[in-house]
Chains A and B, each alone.
Chain A
Amino acid sequence: MRFQALFVIAILVVGGLFWGAADAVHPFGNPGDAPMDEYFLRNAQRERGANNVVTSIVFDYRGFDTLGEAAVLFTAVSSVAALFRGKGWQ
């Protein structure tokens, strides 16, 4: 029973920290200065020839992160296939 009270106090402390952080982030709607995003919005259509700026960031300006994400998906599928393998399964 002692552990449960400790966990409740820990969750309340973490929740209070999250609440304070939500108050201290920049106000919703004006993020301030964003030089990298301004560069993307101004030059993505002229340099890469794509109408969708988000897709050109995901596959062209930051294509290496997408390679890591495809590898994570592949690892998840092979892990599920490796879990369901044995004498009892098909």
Chain B
Amino acid sequence: MIGNLPYFAVAALVIFGLFGAIFGRNMVKIAVAVSLVEAATNLFIIALGYRNGGSIPVFTQAGEHAGYMVLPTPQALTLTAIVIGMATTALLLSLIMMLYRHYGTLDVREIRRLRG
């Protein structure tokens, strides 16, 4: 189990994020928990592509280890995932601002009770 430690850290982060998103009462804390799940996903994708003793896949900075590099494709996919996560977080925060302007409170249980 100690050899796969990054993957267990990813599982723990996903559990914490899901717990915060389902049982959170403040809307901003729900947004933070969703952002935590996205960060855990990016960490998982990057940790999949590591090779023991490999160097950075950039020839300018590889030095003498240029023959054995880590896999570059998961890093390229993670760049796209980070930008999409940022777009999701921006829209989530804007919707929270609109809800606060309309209902006057940040408590999720109050918003479920008031109608219109």
Query: Which residues of A are interface residues toward B (Cβ below 8 A)?
Result: 4, 7, 11, 14-15, 18-19, 21-23, 25, 27-31, 34, 36-37, 40-41, 45, 51-54, 57-58, 62, 65-66, 68-69, 72-73, 75-76, 79-80, 83-84
Cross-chain contact A69 with B80 (CB below 8 angstroms): yes
What residues on A are CB-neighbors of B8 within 8 Å?
Answer: 19, 22
Residue pair A27, B76 in contact (C-beta under 8 Å)? no
Q: Interface centre among B7, B50, B86, by most A CB within 10 Å? A: B7
20 contacts between A and B (CB under 8 A): A4-B23, A7-B23, A11-B15, A23-B7, A28-B47, A29-B50, A29-B52, A30-B51, A37-B73, A41-B69, A45-B59, A52-B60, A53-B57, A54-B57, A54-B79, A57-B76, A72-B87, A73-B87, A75-B87, A83-B91
Closest residue of chain B to A62 (Cβ to Cβ) is B76
- A41–B58 Cα distance when bound, in Å, is 10
Which of B1, B15, B75 has the largest number of chain A CB atoms within 10 A?
A: B15
How many whole Å from A83's CB to the nearest CB in chain B?
A: 5
B49 interface residue, CB < 8 Å from A?
yes
**Which 8 residue pairs are nearest across A and B when measured between Cβ atoms?**
A76-B87, A22-B7, A29-B52, A18-B11, A15-B15, A57-B76, A37-B71, A53-B57
* Chain B at the A interface: SS class: helix
Q: Once the chains bind, are A83 and B50 in contact (CB under 8 Å)?
A: no
Q: Are B4 and A22 within 8 A (Cβ)? A: yes
The reply to whether B3 and A19 contact each other, CB–CB distance below 8 Å, is no
- Is B39 positioned at the interface, with any CB of A under 8 Å from its CB? no
Q: Determine whether the beta carbon of B51 is less than 8 Å from that of A54.
A: no
